[in-house]
Homo-oligomer: A and B are copies of this chain.
Amino acid sequence: MRVTVLVRPKTGIRDPQGEAIRGSLAGLGYPVSEVSAGRIFDLEVDTDDPAEAERVGRETAGRVLANELIEGFEVVVG
């Protein structure tokens, strides 16, 4: 099953990549006042059980994909 893990910087944590992109977009004249930059992972998990797929997504997010000190994550199955 396909599982998508969305990793985003936590509120209040500095996000230098987002800030740099915000500056570039402002320089190009786009009306964008905030940018947050995160990562997205699409996993193919070898199971037909959505609960098991979600469990694998959450566990790999917590152990490998995200740094929970500074990032939050969201797991979407299917």
Contacts and interface: CB of A to CB of B under 8 A. Distances in A.
A72 interface: no
Interface residues of A, number: 32
Interface string A3-20: 000111000000000100
Count of this chain's copies in the oligomeric assembly? 2
A45 interface: yes
A39 B41 contact: no
A28 B63 contact: yes
In the A-B complex, the 7 residue pairs with the smallest Cβ-Cβ separation, listed nearest first, are A34-B44, A31-B46, A36-B42, A38-B40, A40-B40, A33-B44, A32-B43
Interface of A: 6-8, 18, 21, 24-25, 28, 30-47, 56, 59-60, 63-65
